[in-house]
Structure 1
């Protein structure tokens, strides 16, 4: 390894630590020593310092100790002769610099609290593009992707490319591989983030292109994100630096791209990243560190051309990624799912004011031709800019292992798979879908046929076991769309009724769902015919089909076994499964009660119910409602109090559909206990509430349920219940 790179990097470490010491000294002279410091809305203090040392930096005064550690980490300067080895001192210098970077960025939050945007998207109108540290809402949403494999890693890019066009090519190549791209630092006053904006690329968490900040110090946010993921999802304790760094090397596949001249401060930042097993690949002729050691392969590789830097980076990191090679003129992958097609970018759309329907149906093997995609009616080239058109997407699937039960599973995938096309935006499903096509996509030659090609390819890739043939037909003539819509609605109704007519007593097997254990390690959702999954995405039929498609997946069969309590809903087989799946943390729970040992709740539930003792009833609030509720807590507060995999008597998470299922809190008196819910939620399930009221002999029950227009305190709700004669007031006490 080069003496030159060691000399430069160690000198850079001294420079950075000295700068941080100066900034801290100035801060102590300007502010009170007890002034609070933090990365706003995060739970891990200054995460790099906290995760590696266990030190909780909460005030300006607290910064002194980690900065003293940084100063002690700085090694002696490289001697002219016989100074070997270099790598150990280089790593220490890098770590010292990173501690100093984190302190500098925390002080920036004190000095300039509005410098960073605490959100997922940039605000171009206000000229604010730097997002800084990801708050916990963003982190929880995105961090799990690094654990479950949907995001194989991230590229931390510092500096700027020679031109905006080159920057765009590099970033889009990473997006095709589903990587996140974290941007920091500038090169001669120009940043990669600004180049991408100039090139018309949308940046922000939604497109996985995250502009952290304009200085090299803001690269610390990338490492902080990685360490937070290790603590939150990997179970690594703060201060266990060895396990922390090994976890990142083995699980968070990241690397650095240095675009532009590498100065001493960039060099020591790169050295710091090597501690994590993250190598640096540069486009300039810098001294290299090639022998394998801390990193999987080389540590620093230089002089890589821009058209090779993506592939070289992936090879150097030892990252295994899959690129979806689909014959369409646009880039494709999950990185584009969050992309918006806004009004100014819109060429045309399908749905909105016109009908847009999707249907997947099983076919016989000899009925369809694999790979055949047909557009019946006008295509994109025939559309006028700015107009809306009808569309029906009809997918026929044949396979030796395919069943009609699998139809809704594949149908639900149309939303995600279409959204993965760059420049195409898909919203909704079933007969309320909506597809927006950007001008950029049309310029590149996008056709409706390409949606069919994507669905054909991805259904084969993702459902190899059950899909032998896939044929797609897209209709754009109104009469054809209306005809398919009528057929589809009949299918939807039949599917819903299939589950609706089932009872928990009619089956001996329920199904688990452990998808949310990344967020709530102790949580195990059990799905029965009369208790859909808390997230609303899975009913019993869906779980059954999912298990048949993927027998080792998150939806496992549970034999009910002996019924221990038919009123509250408790079975021995379920208890045994839950105890094992929660690693002994949950011994039992009840399906039909929120008062006595209710089912555990994760953070993904569609709604949360809570007791209202004065009213002798319950309220429920959906995730989308942001206002106050009669229990005194908003949805976000409730989720924080009783989410995370806990069984919380008096509260329970549930799906929207579950409210009108016959077993909804049946052990506590059933739906007659429901006294308050947000108006938007109430109207969404109005027809089902009216039908359920008729079933229980209270035809006007819908009108008896209070909402925020009546009041948001328990006293206001109680007064309303008295006026309308709500049945909850005449029931036995909810807690006996």
Structure 2
């Protein structure tokens, strides 16, 4: 069987080689060898070629030279997997040349095509914390009535699905929601575009794993061990599909076909079959998961609609709404309260209100007070807001339900489709009760939910809740790093970045933005052997830079000896490592005697002459890079932000979008520091994107960084 696969791959390679050469010659003749060429939104040029060969291609002349080397290899005897790998290289080149031609706006919107670095970093947290336990590639041709149940099953199992081939086009025609938030990504209509998903998997080794470009064996092994991926192929396996499947097999990505093909195993690559078969479409997802050896536990409340993170970003528009609550249209709030066990009737769902069934009608609006009473031996008062924030996620993960805001500015909609499926008002309580017990099972023993729907009750209880919100805020605002005996680690990203150790303190949240100190503390109580562990501070070695003996010991041990010491409040002296899923990058700007901050998602140029993607490629993978550091957005306005290097006075540039996002909190910090009009003195891309203009602007506005001692000592 291997011999047959090789012959088909050779045929596909010859055909692709000829097509690519024709396009290449045409563009060279028209544009010349200096013409820039690379895939969009990536710091790696052609990621597969760069990662496995160590060659960064940015111009047509370089591309031509590498193409000729592939042509030479394919003209000589070659082993099956080298043949498949060179086919993947050709695909990367061929598609990039095709993409150099203009496509219609409709095509650009519909298909994702190449999956850029920004998307990859955005998904980093979900991949490491288990919200995305696996990646599936569906390719080929299948009727919609058979495809949609498979897609829905994968969504409910939280598996990120890439669609390639005609099924991608057919899915888009349905009008169903898609995109990364929906866990369904139509990549493109051509089978060749499967290489974009392989690109995506290989890039994880560079972005998160800190692997060295050109170390082919290490990168391939990284993908085999750390990327939980499988492919399901529908329809006959032609030479193109076989060539892609052989390339996927190199990375231990099994292909499950709905055709009666023989099973193929290669023990030196994987202990499971790399080609398998399941002709029954109702069983094909199960077969794929079993083949890959995955264990996926799905938590689903007893409700009549689909449930899972894939539905969290779903919008319920006004015209699709059956009924809504809050949103400044009616009074509403949500409040989690810790109670004694004797005060909580476990799993009780109660709706308190007069004649509420007659008001639960299409086009209706109702007041809604959600009171969640919890009790548990390990429950703590500080965990109330942690659970409360999850109400947003709990409700949103139900298909056809929509929730935004929190506390007393929440807004909930139930769609007409959800109502037709059988969703009633009581299901809001069922969802919250079930998921609170499931996700906080280690700290919560009993949960009851009371829904108040009479305006008088909602207004009265909302005032009580507001008083509690205020007390919480005051308590948390006073919490400093000095007030606690232990910090918390986050080791979740070590599944991708083995050397990285994130240390979370009350005044320094996780660099991904997903964990505060309280979140990590609650996570440890929920899962004592999980990724969040207490870190004893030990002896204070340097209060200005934030160096503690206990933190150093922990980091050295859990980085495998790669990192000896970190300073929590410095970018210049032994800064904390980064994994790759940071929200922002802080980078030194020596000419301005300060730092700039650029957020993930900003695609423009920065004053240091590098875009976010290029900067991110320098600091990920668990390495210490003095002068550059990944941080979470909420750390920017912390009193401990770069305390050892001069604090917020060092901030000289950030994108306008980020500046607006942190404006209120950063303005408060500036007032505490006695800096007048500070935000107006921070440049953004509307002022400048180059260093000369930045320095001139800072002098004009008399930025405080210019009067500080040199940041480089």
**TM-score between the two structures when normalised by the length of structure 1:** 0.79
Aligned counterpart in structure 2 of residue 108 of structure 1, from 95, 99, 113: 95
Matches within 5 A, 1:428-447: 428-447=405-424
Matches within 5 A, 1:557-636: 557-593=534-570, 599-600=576-577
- For 1:595 and 1:297, locate their aligned partners in 2 and report how far apart those are by CA, in whole Å: 47
| Cα displacement string for residues 182-226 of structure 1 (whole angstroms, at most 9, x for unaligned residues) | 2223xxxxx212322333322333322222222222222233333
Checking the alignment, whether the CA contact within 8 Å between 1:499 and 1:541 is kept in structure 2 is no
1:310 and 2:285 aligned: yes
- For 1:17 and 1:623, locate their aligned partners in 2 and report how far apart those are by CA, in whole Å: 37
Helix, strand or coil: the match of 1:304?
coil
Q: State the 1:399 CA deviation.
A: 1.4
Q: State the 1:425 CA deviation.
A: 3.6
- For 1:619 and 1:734, locate their aligned partners in 2 and report how far apart those are by CA, in whole Å: 13
Aligned to 1:78: none
Aligned counterpart in structure 1 of residue 176 of structure 2, from 201, 220, 227: 201
Shift of the 114–463 alpha-carbon distance from structure 1 to 2, 3 Å rule, reads farther
Checking the alignment, whether the CA contact within 8 Å between 1:609 and 1:651 is kept in structure 2 is yes
- For 1:56 and 1:668, locate their aligned partners in 2 and report how far apart those are by CA, in whole Å: 35
1:157 and 2:138 aligned: yes
Checking the alignment, whether the CA contact within 8 Å between 1:337 and 1:420 is kept in structure 2 is yes
Shift of the 617–485 alpha-carbon distance from structure 1 to 2, 3 Å rule, reads farther
1:420 and 2:402 aligned: no
Aligned counterpart in structure 2 of residue 384 of structure 1, from 353, 359, 362: 362
Aligned to 2:434: 457
| Cα displacement string for residues 591-649 of structure 1 (whole angstroms, at most 9, x for unaligned residues) | 45556555556655566667788988777676688888888888777766667656666
Aligned to 2:86: 99
Matches within 5 A, 1:66-77: 66-72=70-76
Aligned to 1:82: none
Q: State the 1:481 CA deviation.
A: 3.7
Q: State the 1:172 CA deviation.
A: 0.7
- For 1:274 and 1:145, locate their aligned partners in 2 and report how far apart those are by CA, in whole Å: 25
Aligned to 2:348: 372
- For 2:609 and 2:266, locate their aligned partners in 1 and report how far apart those are by CA, in whole Å: 58
Unaligned runs of 5+ in 2: 689-693
1:219 and 2:194 aligned: yes
- For 2:279 and 2:338, locate their aligned partners in 1 and report how far apart those are by CA, in whole Å: 50
The root-mean-square deviation of aligned C-alpha atoms, in Å, is 4.3
| Cα displacement string for residues 631-670 of structure 1 (whole angstroms, at most 9, x for unaligned residues) | 8888777766667656666666655655665555555566
For CA contacts below 8 A with separation 6 or more, give which structure has more relative contact order: 2
Shift of the 666–205 alpha-carbon distance from structure 1 to 2, 3 Å rule, reads closer
Aligned to 1:184: 164
Q: State the 1:408 CA deviation.
A: 2.3
Aligned counterpart in structure 2 of residue 129 of structure 1, from 110, 115, 124: 110
Helix, strand or coil: the match of 1:465?
coil
- For 1:702 and 1:174, locate their aligned partners in 2 and report how far apart those are by CA, in whole Å: 51
Shift of the 328–72 alpha-carbon distance from structure 1 to 2, 3 Å rule, reads farther
Aligned to 1:87: none
1:61 and 2:68 aligned: no
Q: State the 1:327 CA deviation.
A: 1.2
Unaligned runs of 5+ in 1: 76-91, 118-122, 186-190
- For 2:643 and 2:543, locate their aligned partners in 1 and report how far apart those are by CA, in whole Å: 10
- For 2:231 and 2:581, locate their aligned partners in 1 and report how far apart those are by CA, in whole Å: 33
Matches within 5 A, 1:698-713: 698=674, 701=676, 706-707=681-682, 713=694
| Cα displacement string for residues 49-86 of structure 1 (whole angstroms, at most 9, x for unaligned residues) | 555566666503312323443454678xxxxxxxxxxx
Aligned counterpart in structure 2 of residue 510 of structure 1, from 473, 484, 487: 487
Q: State the 1:132 CA deviation.
A: 2.1
Matches within 5 A, 1:512-531: 512-516=489-493, 523-531=500-508
**TM-score between the two structures when normalised by the length of structure 2:** 0.82
1:288 and 2:268 aligned: no
Checking the alignment, whether the CA contact within 8 Å between 1:511 and 1:558 is kept in structure 2 is yes
Shift of the 36–324 alpha-carbon distance from structure 1 to 2, 3 Å rule, reads same
Shift of the 157–679 alpha-carbon distance from structure 1 to 2, 3 Å rule, reads closer
- For 1:708 and 1:646, locate their aligned partners in 2 and report how far apart those are by CA, in whole Å: 29
Q: State the 1:16 CA deviation.
A: 0.8
- For 2:486 and 2:445, locate their aligned partners in 1 and report how far apart those are by CA, in whole Å: 29
Shift of the 473–521 alpha-carbon distance from structure 1 to 2, 3 Å rule, reads same
Helix, strand or coil: the match of 2:681?
coil
- For 2:623 and 2:358, locate their aligned partners in 1 and report how far apart those are by CA, in whole Å: 50
- For 1:251 and 1:617, locate their aligned partners in 2 and report how far apart those are by CA, in whole Å: 38
Higher Rg = 1
| Cα displacement string for residues 439-492 of structure 1 (whole angstroms, at most 9, x for unaligned residues) | 433332223433332332233232222221122233444444444433333223
Q: State the 1:687 CA deviation.
A: 6.7
